[in-house]
Amino acid sequence: MGALFSFVVVILLILLAYVGVAAVGMQSFFGIVIPYVAVLVFLVGVVYRVIKWGKSPVPFAITTTGGQQKSLEWIKQAKLDNPSSSTGVVGRMALEILLFRSLFRNTKSELRDGRLAYGSGKWLWLAAMAFHWSFLIVLLRHVRLFETPVPSFVNLLESLDGFLQIGAPRLFLTGVILLLAVTYLLLRRFYVRQVRYISLAADYFPLFLIIAVASTGILMRYFFKVDIVSVKELTMGLVSFNPTVPAGVGAIFYVHVFLVSTLFAYFPFSKLMHAGGIYLSPTRNLANDSRAVRHVNPWDYPVKVHTYDEYEDEFREKMIKAGIPVEHYPAPSPEELEKEFGDKDAGVPAGKEE
C-alpha cells in the first residue's frame, strides 16, 4: 500500500512538471522558482533539524561497544570498536560514515528445519555502499553545471567515471551503478518479508523518487538529448542570482529538476536526514570512557527536594511527643538539664553514699 502510494505520488510529480512545462509553458516556475524554494527549504531545514538535535541532551554515555574495552595494559583494546579517546571516536565515525562499518555487521535470520538461524547479510551493505558512493560522484559531477570554468577535479571524475569509453556521450558507470543499487534496495523491500512488513510509504517514496531522478537524468543524457549549453546557461543563472530561461530546453530537463527539487525539499523532514543524524548518534560519537570520566546528565532538572534531615527538623518535636525515634534529639535547655540532672549534682540519696 505504501509502495503503491509512493509510486503514484512520484508519477504525479513527473506528470505535474511535464504538463506544467510542455502544455502550460511554466518554464520559469519549474526552472527558477521551484529550485530556489527547494534549496532554501533544504538549507534551512537541515540546519533547523541539526540544531534541534543539538539541543537534546544525552542523559547517559550510551556508546555502542563492539570489542574489548580499554582495560589493563596487557589486554589488547579494540580501539576502533570500543574507543576510549576522541581520536578513536573520530576513527570510528570516519569508518561509519565512509564505509558503513556497522551495516557490515548486518545479519539475516531465517528458519532452518524449524530452528531460527542467523547468518551474515552483506548484500545490503554492498548495495548501500554502491548507492551512496555513486550518488556522491553523480552529485559532484553536476558541479560542471555550476562552475565556470569547470573545476579540474570534476573533469578528472568524469574521465574516471567514463573510462570504459562506451558510446557517445560516454557512459558514466556511476549512473548505472546508482540505478542498479537503488533498484536492489527497492526490491529488497518487496521480496524480504520481514523488511516488507516494516516498510512504510516514507521508505518507498525516497526510493521511487531517486529512481525517477536517476532515470530522467540518464534519459536526458543518452536518449532525449537536451541542449547542455542551454542547461548550463540556466543553472549558471540560478547560482549567480541572475536567472534566465533559455529557449529550447526539453521538458525532460524540467521534470528532472522538479524531481531533484522535491528530493531537496523533502530531505530535511524525512529519513534522509540520517546524513546529518549520523554525526549526532550518541551510540557512535561517544567514547567509551564511562569508567574514567563521569558523564553528567545535562538533563538533570533542579528538582525541589525535601531531605529526611529537613523533614525531621520540621517534625522533630511532634515525633518525639509521639514516641517516634529521631536521628537528632534536640539539645536540652538549661532548665531541663537542671530538672534532669540538678538533683544529682546537689547530692545523691543519703542512703547510697558510702
Partner 1 sequence: MYNGGKILLGIFVFLALATYPFYNNIGKANARPEPSTDTPAIQKLAQKKCIEPEAFMKSEHMQLLNQWRDAAVRDGNRIYVAGDGQRYDISLQNTCMKCHSNKKEFCDSCHNYAGVSPYCWDCHLAPKEGK
What residue ranges bind partner 1 (CB under 8 A)? Answer: 42-43, 46-47, 50-51, 54-58, 143-150, 154-155, 158-159, 165, 167-169, 225, 227-230, 232-233, 236-237, 239-242, 246, 276, 279-280, 298
Name the minimum Å distance from CB 335 to partner 1. 59
Name the minimum Å distance from CB 99 to partner 1. 20
Name the minimum Å distance from CB 26 to partner 1. 22
Identify which of residues 203 and 289 has a Cβ nearer to partner 1 in the complex: 289
CA distance 127 to 121: 11
Number of helices (H), then strands (E), in the chain = 16, 2
Phi, psi of 34 (to 5 degrees): -60, -50
Name the minimum Å distance from CB 128 to partner 1. 21
- Match 538533570 to its residue by C-alpha cell: 300
Strands 107-112 and 115-120 turn out to be: antiparallel
* Structural element, H or E, at residue 265: helix 251-266
Identify which of residues 106 and 281 has a Cβ nearer to partner 1 in the complex: 281
Q: Work out the angle between the directed axes of helices 152-161 and 123-141 (0-180°, nearest 10).
A: 130
Identify which of residues 20 and 268 has a Cβ nearer to partner 1 in the complex: 268
Name the minimum Å distance from CB 277 to partner 1. 12
CA distance 111 to 231: 54
Identify which of residues 12 and 166 has a Cβ nearer to partner 1 in the complex: 166
Identify which of residues 85 and 155 has a Cβ nearer to partner 1 in the complex: 155
CA distance 275 to 137: 16
| CB-neighbour burial class of residue 202 (10 A; exposed 0-12, middle 13-18, buried 19+) | middle
Name the minimum Å distance from CB 177 to partner 1. 21
Identify which of residues 48 and 311 has a Cβ nearer to partner 1 in the complex: 48
Residues 6+ apart with CB under 8 A from 280: 50, 53, 54
